[in-house]
Structures are given as structure tokens and as C-alpha cells.
């Protein structure tokens, strides 16, 4: 802890910190439901699991604190969404490295990072920003509706 008011407010109690692992459960559940819906529709795209995971992350993020007496306001919703996105990116980075390393033999010349084209990187950044903003917006809408 740095001692700043923002850090103290964000991680003031176990309930504040425990919101993030609970949101991870929402991520996994949303992805599994999205995969099932996507498989039933036959589209085999990334968007359905991504959208459903963002929706469940927002619902869990808002409900987790509310059921424990720590409701969020709009500013906190944005901060929780950004913090969660950054934590998720940190957890995902080793997976990207592992995928690249495990595919090095299948790519001509052994360059396993061939999938990291500028278009793919730009797409990932846009998806990251949209998911973060969408989650924050949904969290704000859920918090506002509950009042």
C-alpha cells in the first residue's frame, strides 16, 4: 500500500479486495456460457464469450460489494473496472507467451509470435478498452438502477 486515499479506499477491507476474485468467477462463467451459446449458434467467434463474460463480471462486481454493505458509486465502478482489466491483463500475459512458445515449431522459421501482428495487437487493445468501458458502464447502470 502506498498510503494514498485511493489505495486505502480501494483495498480498505477484505470485501473490497475479494470482489476481484469473485469477478474472475464471473469471467469464467460468462466465457463458458458464451462458448455454449456460440457453439449452439455455430458461429465459432470470440465475441459471444467476451460479451457474456463482461456482463457477468459487471453483475458480480456490483452485487458482491452490495450484499456485503459496500455499494459502489460511479467513480468507484470505473476504478474497479480498470483495476480488474489490468489484473486480468497481467494474468493473461504469461498465457500469450506460452501459446507463442508452444507454437514456435508450427510456424515457418520458428517464430511463434507470428500471430502478434500489428492488426491483432490493435484489435486486442480496442477489445480491452471496449470491455473495460462496457463493464464500467454496465456497473454504473446497475448501481444507479438499484438506488
- For 22-45, the pLDDT digits (tens) are 999 999 999 999 999 999 998 888
- DSSP conformation letters of the chain: ----HHHHHHTSSHHHHHHHHHHHHHHHHHHHHHHHHHHHHT---SHHHHHHHHHHHHHHHHHHHHTTT----HHHHHHHHHHHHHHHHHHHHHHHHHHHHHTGGGSGGG-GGGG--HHHHHHHHHHHHHHHHHHHHHHHHHHHHH-
Q: What is this structure's pTM?
A: 0.77
**In this predicted model, what pLDDT tens digit does every residue of 42-67 receive, in sequence order?**
888 888 999 999 999 999 999 987 77
Amino acid at each position: 500500500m502506498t498510503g494514498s486515499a485511493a489505495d486505502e479506499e480501494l483495498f480498505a477491507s477484505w470485501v473490497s479486495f475479494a470482489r476481484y476474485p469473485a469477478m474472475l468467477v464471473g469471467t469464467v462463467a460468462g466465457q463458458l456460457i458464451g462458448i455454449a451459446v456460440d457453439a449452439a449458434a455455430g458461429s465459432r467467434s470470440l465475441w459471444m464469450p467476451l460479451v457474456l463474460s463482461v456482463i457477468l463480471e459487471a453483475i458480480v462486481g456490483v452485487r458482491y460489494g452490495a450484499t456485503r454493505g459496500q455499494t459502489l458509486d460511479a467513480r468507484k465502478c470505473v476504478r474497479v473496472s480498470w483495476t480488474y482489466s489490468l489484473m486480468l491483463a497481467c494474468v493473461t500475459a504469461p498465457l500469450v507467451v506460452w501459446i507463442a512458445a508452444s507454437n514456435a515449431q508450427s510456424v515457418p522459421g520458428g517464430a511463434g509470435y507470428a500471430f502478434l501482428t500489428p492488426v491483432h495487437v490493435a484489435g486486442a487493445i480496442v477489445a480491452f478498452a471496449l470491455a473495460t468501458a462496457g463493464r464500467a458502464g454496465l456497473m454504473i447502470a446497475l448501481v444507479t438502477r438499484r438506488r
